Chain A
């Protein structure tokens, strides 16, 4: 798959990015070039066609005039019928003398009315006879006033390919002979070359597109035959696979067409060279693409691999691993972000560990306080029964309450119902009332629906103990009031006393959530308010806590608060 690696994706992208513009531009270039060449070929051909057809036209018109003049000459007329050698000489001299301008391009001959050749400007040989009932002489006989032109027939001796003829009539308008002009291929070449040195290959065709003359330079020797058969079958004149472009023009006033063949350079060798050049360019482009895509993919993939290896280490727990990228691009940003993220993760993990450790410390402390609880509990139970037997009810009650407290505090549950906690507090207060000889009162106000609400164990008792021991210290009478209520999803437990109150700085310290100094903790030997706050925060999060403020009638009001939706 292409999408399996950077290298392949990049290679495909680069190849497309390199080859498509290359292809488009080369195609555009080639077609532009082709257009240009074709246009110039067309112009070239048009010029040649024009000059060739003009030359032919002028020559024929000149010959027409010449034949007209010759046919009027008495010397020629007499020469046809005479047997006198002097008159024959005169006729030949006239023929020879008058045709001087054209003899380089044509032979001139005089035929009698039966088609016997009488005089010829040909230097060697005789043209023999021609049928007067056939071909050009017949035409000339029918149109005695005009010159007729035609391609030469097979039975004409020599390599004459183009003929012009005119009948000669006497005073009574009787046909007495013919003037015949013959042009060979060499004559035509010479004639055209005189006017247009660069004409190159051309062909002359008659009205039915039969070949009159086709120069050897035209490239394709059967060009005329091919054109004719295309016209005959009604197929387009220009077809695929032609190595020559053919251009056509008719000769004004004469039944001929001139054709010029221009070599189509967009064939064979040229196309091969073009394909080779394009092939080499394409190959070069692909190689460059491969090299660049290799380098680029390495450049792009390396940081990714580094990042992946660091990520795997982090995943295995080596949080101290860092990428430490020196790059400033997107990969640098990615690495830096990852490093930061790992740093944060490490810190978070450390906080977690520390918190767990603290909870453990507290738990251990509690465990130490519960040393041998069953022994104590059993002892207390025994004490209760001994007291009852000895009829000391206070002692029995005390032992019973203490056992009650001890039972709750040594139970394995971290959370207990609010009612149980309050029962514990009540037992504790009873013992203390005996100790302090009932010098203070204790009240609880709690809505019925909250009695089954679970709270962390032993969070009210320490506060009450605190109030009793510190708040009512040195007082004859005192009152401790526990008020529990819920308000906007928060549970509030207020413990108030009417004692001496708490020093201002201590209150502020607790409200700020700071931990008491080591010396104070050691002195008190109990779980202080700050510890309760910590426990609440650990269980309920930051919304939970402890606040202290002076009571309305003096003393201290301690409030524990935590969200009531989170029941243990």
Chain B
């Protein structure tokens, strides 16, 4: 038996060797050095981040690895990787969202810092603002004549818009939550908060869009007459010739900028700093304004915004997030069960 076993072992090793002879040849490449790498987590849409990443790569020769997802997901991922950061840069995410995660960011002052005077800019430079875009209403020109458009948040609470408003779920969409908070701040002078919430939720008729992109689809297709979204989305589709119009709420709207942050303990710190400088450089800011339908964050470059803006209380919005979402959920589901 022992001899048989030995023979089997010999045969097996022969066959393994013969297979080994047929091993494939790997195409050989120089390994990419670490100083040529940058890992970017982004919540921007591809049409926003792609030109920036490409231009950054072309100008610096640095390879950028992009991981794109929703802003909440990205920030949570960064927080969960705090011990061993994978990301170098968080590109995108509202100032209010970034504000809640400043402990995971490496403060860095960009060279043109004095040009960024936005009230939302963090004092400790834990993140750097990127662009501005107000919360606006969009309407389908076939369904609503411009004279009949809702002029302010309070109008959306009126019964005539019941079932005609497209609004993304504020629990998923950062901009929808910002819009909800904006509405609460604008309308709280006039009415009780619960009443505002209930009337608005009632007008949604128990239906929410999954994402802010779906809001535009609903309005463009005519499923809903008006929608609440950001300015850049409306301008983008307007530019593509869609039959839609934009309304800046007369009773005031929030202009919450988004930003870029370096992750604390980033492996490619120098490249991350280069990237931050790049996002606020003149060319990049011009591009976001000329081709990204957004407003530059830089005072020397930004176009005038003649709308009634309110001060958006980021601290309040962040602290009351759970409470506001729960109230909204309650009001929404209450309306939902009614026939």
A interface with B by C-beta (< 8 Å): 2, 16, 20, 23-24, 27-28, 31-32, 34-35, 38, 131, 133-135, 138-139, 150-151, 153-155, 207-210, 228-229, 231-232, 234, 236-238, 245-248
B57 at the interface (CB under 8 A from A): yes
CB distance from A472 to the nearest CB of B (A): 84
Q: Which residues of A lie under 8 Å from residue B286 when comparing CB positions?
A: 131, 133-134
Q: Which residues of A lie under 8 Å from residue B18 when comparing CB positions?
A: 24, 27-28, 31
Q: Which residues of A lie under 8 Å from residue B283 when comparing CB positions?
A: 131, 133-134, 138
From B31, B51, B58, give the contact of A155 (CB < 8 A).
B51
Residue-wise, chain B 1-36 has the 8 Å CB interface mask toward A (1 for contact) of 100100010010011001101101011010110000
Q: Which residues of A lie under 8 Å from residue B50 when comparing CB positions?
A: 153-154
Q: Which residues of B lie under 8 Å from residue A2 when comparing CB positions?
A: 1
A27→B27 CA distance, assembly (Å): 25
Given A153-B51, A231-B32, A38-B24 contact (CB < 8 Å): yes
Given A155-B51, A231-B29, A208-B63 contact (CB < 8 Å): yes
CB distance from B290 to the nearest CB of A (A): 6
Q: A23-B15, A154-B54, A232-B37 are in contact. List 18 more A-B contacts (CB 8 A).
A: A23-B11, A24-B11, A24-B15, A24-B18, A31-B19, A35-B21, A131-B283, A133-B282, A133-B283, A133-B286, A134-B286, A134-B287, A150-B58, A153-B51, A155-B287, A208-B64, A232-B32, A236-B26
Are A234 and B31 neighbours in the complex by a CB distance under 8 Å? yes
B81 at the interface (CB under 8 A from A): no
CB distance from A303 to the nearest CB of B (A): 27
Residue of B nearest to A136 (CB): B58
B interface with A by C-beta (< 8 Å): 1, 4, 8, 11, 14-15, 18-19, 21-22, 24, 26-27, 29, 31-32, 37, 46-47, 50-51, 54-55, 57-58, 61, 63-65, 282-283, 286-287, 290-291
A209→B62 CA distance, assembly (Å): 11
A232→B57 CA distance, assembly (Å): 13
Q: Which residues of A lie under 8 Å from residue B291 when comparing CB positions?
A: 131, 155
Q: Which residues of A lie under 8 Å from residue B287 when comparing CB positions?
A: 131, 133-134, 155
Cβ contacts A to B, 30 pairs, < 8 Å: A23-B11, A24-B14, A27-B18, A28-B15, A31-B18, A31-B19, A31-B22, A35-B21, A131-B283, A131-B286, A131-B291, A133-B283, A133-B286, A134-B51, A134-B283, A134-B286, A135-B51, A135-B55, A150-B58, A151-B54, A153-B50, A154-B47, A154-B54, A208-B58, A208-B64, A210-B54, A210-B57, A228-B63, A232-B65, A234-B32
Are B22 and A154 neighbours in the complex by a CB distance under 8 Å? no
Are B11 and A20 neighbours in the complex by a CB distance under 8 Å? yes
Are A35 and B54 neighbours in the complex by a CB distance under 8 Å? no
Are B51 and A238 neighbours in the complex by a CB distance under 8 Å? no
Q: Which residues of B lie under 8 Å from residue A32 when comparing CB positions?
A: 22
A236→B26 CA distance, assembly (Å): 7
CB distance from B332 to the nearest CB of A (A): 36
A207→B32 CA distance, assembly (Å): 12
CB distance from B39 to the nearest CB of A (A): 9
Residue of B nearest to A33 (CB): B22
CB distance from B72 to the nearest CB of A (A): 24
Q: Which residues of B lie under 8 Å from residue A133 when comparing CB positions?
A: 282-283, 286-287
Q: Which 5 pairs across A and B sit closest by C-beta, in order of nearness?
A: A31-B22, A155-B291, A35-B22, A133-B283, A27-B15
Given A131-B286, A131-B287, A154-B51 contact (CB < 8 Å): yes
From A34, A138, A151, A238, give the contact of B27 (CB < 8 A).
A238
A38→B27 CA distance, assembly (Å): 13
CB distance from B318 to the nearest CB of A (A): 32
CB distance from B227 to the nearest CB of A (A): 24
A201→B241 CA distance, assembly (Å): 36
CB distance from A20 to the nearest CB of B (A): 6
A84→B290 CA distance, assembly (Å): 29
A38→B21 CA distance, assembly (Å): 13
A245→B27 CA distance, assembly (Å): 10
